[in-house]
Structure 1
Amino acid sequence: MKEIFIERSESLLRIAIKENNELVESIVEEKKSGPIIGEIYKGKIKNIIQGTNSIFVDLGLDKEGYMYYSDELKSKDLKKGDEILVEVIKEPIGNKGAKITHKVSIPGKYVVLDCYSSGIKFSKRINDDLKKEEILNNIAPLEDVCITIRTEGANIALEKLKAEIDKFYEIFKNLDSKMKYSLGTQKLYGDDAILTKILTNNIGNETVKVFVNDEKDFNIINSFVDGESNFKIEKYTGYRGIFDYYGIEKELLKLRHHKVNLPCGGYIVIEKTEAMYVIDVNSGKNIKERSFNKTILETNLEAAKEVGKQIRLRNLSGIIVIDFIDMRDKNQRSLVMSVLQESLRNDKGNVKIFPFTELDLVQIARRRNGKSIYEYMEEECSLCKGRGIVLKLSYIEGLIKNEIIRMKEENSIESFYIEVDSVYKDRVKEDVFSFLKEIDALGNDIYLNYVDGIDGYKIEPLLFQNQKDNLKDYKVNNIEEY
């Protein structure tokens, strides 16, 4: 059984997926993080650079989007200032804006509609010619829009298929109308792009249970999976966050560790460089009484399985290089490659695995889809000028908030002593009101101290007056003067 946990707060949308009670995937989107894959914008062309075949488009955001100036676009005689309908296909990274395309498409559960071709097409996985013929005989093509039948679309009643096509065709017509009559550059579609993508990726015969805390998200999901008997949706109304209540927060924190132990006694180490992720495989304590070649094979096989798991869990993207322990036997390499491919078979991240090099390196290219767990949880240390990594202040605030809410609700505690690392001191003191608001403690007595070298934070309930008296120098008395 699959379980999908969806937690929305003022600044974050967090999604975790479990399979058979094991965490397999985590997705995080920050409200201020910019455009995400699948969103559709009305843009205005800002620049066309012939030398690099690039078009830069104002999306009404901080950074311009960019796309390839193809022969097809050249034939349209586009010029600076023209308005254009575009879709985000790659999120911004660093100083680079979002990568976009004029080939706009809208994916559903059973079909994908796009406006850059016409007719009816089928997923490559649909091999039933009789089913294809039935669909072609009963579904009418749309004007200026192509219908692609997804794999799941071949397994449902025609009425259901027609209903989804009609629904998304109406969206396309609305997009066309908004494109013509709306003023200025703006987002036209995709507020629930991440939710619908996650749900679409998990539609199948397996039972899926969805836990969601936000009313609007609950209604969107209910509408999207209407009629899907394998989907069970539960509105979470507890006082604690979903991730905290179901223990997901603790599992995410473990992902900060770069070393991952293997059952055989070996381990892998995951490191990020400027250009790529590097995963090193080590035999470690795997020194059982057997041949050295068998030890190497066992360690590499377990590593290959774990690497696929960690790539999904940590949402690693771009170039990933795995340094396996040297193997001289081609058959062993083939076995390890098969396990690695199987471990990434269910990954929806558009993964390409390249063959072993002579140095037993395997390269993986994985399309960026949201932030990695590191980008969401960690930041450079401001005191050591980027030479160290610490938890993000926003993430620490969320962890403290979980503990304060739990102690207030379960034990009626109203006073708390909090320690945070000195690295956060300037930012907290600059706007202590926002800090107290983020940790849900504006109405509480807070004693705040900054300590060097602690890993994130520490929080203790204050039950007795003598505890408060001993800590009076740390009390946040006047927010504006603090």
Structure 2
Amino acid sequence: MKEIFIERRESLLRIGIRENGKLVESIVEEKKNEPIIGEIYKARVKKIIPAINSIFVDLGLNKEGYLYYSGELKNKGIKKGDDILVEVVKEPINDKGAKLTTKVSIPGKYIVLNCYETGIKFSKRINNEEKKKEILENLEELSDVSITVRTEAINVDIKTLKSEISKLYSEFIEIDNSLKYSTEVKKVYGEDLSLFRILRNTIGQDPVKIYTDAQCDFNKIKNFISNEENVTLELYSEMRNIFDFYGIEKELLKLRHNKVNLPCGGSIIIDKTEAMYVIDVNSGKNIKGRSFDKTILETNLEAAKEIGNQVKVRNLSGIIVIDFIDMRDKSQRNIVMKAIEESFASDKGNTKIFPFTELDLVQISRRRQGKSIYEYMEEKCMTCKGQGMILKLSYIQDLIRNEILRIKEENNINSFYIEVDNVYRERIKGDLFNFMKEIDGIDKEIYLNYVENIEGFKVEPLIFQSQKVNLEKYKITEFDTI
């Protein structure tokens, strides 16, 4: 059974997916004034630079976006000041703005509408010719959008397809009206893209249970699943964060370790460089077999399966290079490649896998969807001048708050001793009120101690008066509330 956990805060959305009790995917999306992949904007052409075949456009945000100055746009005679519809295909990085395209589409679960095109097309994965013929005979072409029939469409009736086309077409009309009749540049489509992408890709023939802690998401999801019989929805209302309550937070924290052991005794090591992720496969203790070639194949196959899991659950994106153990029998490459492709089969439309190189390397390109767990959890350690990584203070505060709420919920205790790593001392002291607010400590007795070289933090309940007396020097007695 699949379970989807959705945790929303004012500026943050976290989604975790479990399959048969195991965390298999996580998404973190931060709300900020930057474009996200899949969003659609009414943009205005700021400058055209033929020398580099690029067009730079105003999106109504802090940074301009850019797109390829294609032959099609040249033939249309596009010029400075024109308003165009664009879709984000790559998020901004550092000083570089978002990469855009004029090939704009509106995705549904069974249908994708491609704006300002015509015709009916099918996913390459649909091989059922009878079903394709039935769909072509019963769907009408539209004059200003083309229809792409997705793989899942073969499992539903024509009425369902027509209903979704009607819904998506209404969204297109709103987008088209914004382009034609609005005077401002702005986002015209793309609220909660990650949420609905997860729902579309996860909900299918198997039972799914969805937990959400926000009433607004509960209402959206309830409407989305109105015709689904095998999906149940629950509104979570406890004080602790939903990720903490269901144990997902602990699973995510374990992912900070870059080494993952394989059942056969081998391991994979996941490292991040400036330009890419590098995954190294090691045979380790896998020496039980007499056949060298069989041992290598077994380790590489287990690694291929686990790499798919780790990439999805850590939400790695960009270029990923896998260094498999060298295979003397080159025919084994096809077996390992098939295993890699199977491990990414559920990662619909996000990954592209390239063939083995002569050095037994495999390259994977994966589309970005929100933040990786590293971006969300970690920050550079200034003590070692940015060479190491530590947990973000904001993330530490969330974990402390969850622990305080859990202890209070179980024991009705209102006094706590907290240890945090000394690297956070100056930042906490610089804004002590905000720290107390974020850990839900304003109305509680908090004893705070800074300790060298601990992994993040420690929280202990204070039950006896003697404990408080011994820790009196750490008690927070006043802080700036302005």
Q: TM-score, with normalisation over the residues of structure 2?
A: 0.95
Structure 1 distance, partners of 2:169, 2:349, is 27
Aligned residue runs from structure 1 range 196-275, under 5 A: 196-275=196-275
Q: Per the alignment, do residues 141 and 349 of structure 1 end up closer, same or farther by CA in structure 2, a change over 3 Å counting?
A: closer
Q: Is the 8 A contact 2:212 2:234 kept in 1?
A: yes
Q: Is the 8 A contact 1:304 1:340 kept in 2?
A: yes
Structure 2 distance, partners of 1:183, 1:420, is 52
1:173 matched to 2:177? The reply is no
Deviation digits for residues 325-349 of structure 1, max 9, x if unmatched? 2221112222222222221222225
Structure 1 distance, partners of 2:159, 2:349, is 31
Q: Shift of the alpha carbon at 1:233?
A: 1.3
Structure 1 distance, partners of 2:122, 2:182, is 34
Deviation digits for residues 245-289 of structure 1, max 9, x if unmatched? 111111111110011111111111111111111111111112225
1:332 matched to 2:332? The reply is yes
1:62 matched to 2:62? The reply is yes
Q: Shift of the alpha carbon at 1:33?
A: 7.0
Q: Aligned with 1:298: secondary structure?
A: helix
1:383 matched to 2:383? The reply is yes
Structure 2 distance, partners of 1:48, 1:27, is 36
Q: Per the alignment, do residues 355 and 156 of structure 1 end up closer, same or farther by CA in structure 2, a change over 3 Å counting?
A: closer
Aligned residue runs from structure 1 range 429-448, under 5 A: 429-448=429-448
Structure 1 distance, partners of 2:59, 2:438, is 31
Other-structure match for 1:190: 190
Other-structure match for 1:142: 142
Q: Shift of the alpha carbon at 1:481?
A: 8.5
Q: Is the 8 A contact 2:33 2:62 kept in 1?
A: no
Structure 1 distance, partners of 2:442, 2:48, is 51
Structure 2 distance, partners of 1:472, 1:236, is 38
Q: Aligned with 1:330: secondary structure?
A: coil
Aligned length: 482
Q: Per the alignment, do residues 48 and 476 of structure 1 end up closer, same or farther by CA in structure 2, a change over 3 Å counting?
A: farther
Structure 1 distance, partners of 2:421, 2:210, is 36
Deviation digits for residues 130-171 of structure 1, max 9, x if unmatched? 433333333322221112222222332322222211111111
Structure 1 distance, partners of 2:45, 2:475, is 54
5+ residue gaps, structure 1: none
Structure 1 distance, partners of 2:63, 2:51, is 21
Deviation digits for residues 275-305 of structure 1, max 9, x if unmatched? 1111111111122252333322222221122
1:94 matched to 2:94? The reply is yes
Structure 1 distance, partners of 2:394, 2:118, is 47
Q: Is the 8 A contact 1:17 1:24 kept in 2?
A: yes
Deviation digits for residues 173-207 of structure 1, max 9, x if unmatched? 11122234445332222112111111111232111
Aligned residue runs from structure 1 range 5-20, under 5 A: 5-20=5-20
Structure 2 distance, partners of 1:372, 1:94, is 16
Structure 2 distance, partners of 1:349, 1:401, is 37
Other-structure match for 1:311: 311
Bigger shift: residues 255-264 or 464-473: 464-473
Q: Shift of the alpha carbon at 1:456?
A: 0.9
Q: Aligned with 2:459: secondary structure?
A: strand
Structure 1 distance, partners of 2:270, 2:400, is 28
Other-structure match for 1:302: 302
1:373 matched to 2:376? The reply is no
Structure 2 distance, partners of 1:76, 1:3, is 48
**Cα RMSD over matched residues?**
2.0
Deviation digits for residues 83-106 of structure 1, max 9, x if unmatched? 222222222233322222222211
Q: Shift of the alpha carbon at 1:55?
A: 1.8
5+ residue gaps, structure 2: none
Deviation digits for residues 101-137 of structure 1, max 9, x if unmatched? 2222111112111213112222223333443333333
Q: Aligned with 1:442: secondary structure?
A: coil
Other-structure match for 2:404: 404
Instruction: Output the amino acid matched with 1:25.
Output: E
Other-structure match for 2:113: 113
Structure 1 distance, partners of 2:407, 2:329, is 58
Q: Is the 8 A contact 2:401 2:440 kept in 1?
A: yes
Q: Per the alignment, do residues 437 and 64 of structure 1 end up closer, same or farther by CA in structure 2, a change over 3 Å counting?
A: farther
Structure 2 distance, partners of 1:215, 1:120, is 38
Instruction: Output the amino acid matched with 1:267.
Output: S
Structure 1 distance, partners of 2:153, 2:50, is 42
Other-structure match for 1:278: 278
Q: Aligned with 1:397: secondary structure?
A: helix
Bigger shift: residues 348-357 or 187-196: 348-357
Q: Per the alignment, do residues 388 and 102 of structure 1 end up closer, same or farther by CA in structure 2, a change over 3 Å counting?
A: same
Q: TM-score, with normalisation over the residues of structure 1?
A: 0.95
Instruction: Output the amino acid matched with 2:288.
Output: K
Structure 2 distance, partners of 1:384, 1:65, is 36
1:414 matched to 2:414? The reply is yes
Q: Per the alignment, do residues 450 and 56 of structure 1 end up closer, same or farther by CA in structure 2, a change over 3 Å counting?
A: farther
Instruction: Output the amino acid matched with 2:326.
Output: D
Q: Per the alignment, do residues 292 and 138 of structure 1 end up closer, same or farther by CA in structure 2, a change over 3 Å counting?
A: closer
Structure 2 distance, partners of 1:291, 1:128, is 43
Q: Is the 8 A contact 1:5 1:243 kept in 2?
A: yes
Structure 1 distance, partners of 2:155, 2:292, is 50
1:477 matched to 2:477? The reply is yes
Identity across matched positions, percent? 66
Q: Is the 8 A contact 1:195 1:221 kept in 2?
A: no
Q: Is the 8 A contact 1:349 1:369 kept in 2?
A: no
Q: Is the 8 A contact 2:33 2:61 kept in 1?
A: no
Q: Is the 8 A contact 2:2 2:20 kept in 1?
A: yes
Structure 1 distance, partners of 2:421, 2:454, is 6
Structure 2 distance, partners of 1:292, 1:25, is 34
Q: Per the alignment, do residues 465 and 200 of structure 1 end up closer, same or farther by CA in structure 2, a change over 3 Å counting?
A: same
Q: Per the alignment, do residues 481 and 466 of structure 1 end up closer, same or farther by CA in structure 2, a change over 3 Å counting?
A: farther
Aligned residue runs from structure 1 range 456-467, under 5 A: 456-467=456-467
Q: Per the alignment, do residues 481 and 161 of structure 1 end up closer, same or farther by CA in structure 2, a change over 3 Å counting?
A: closer
Structure 2 distance, partners of 1:149, 1:363, is 29
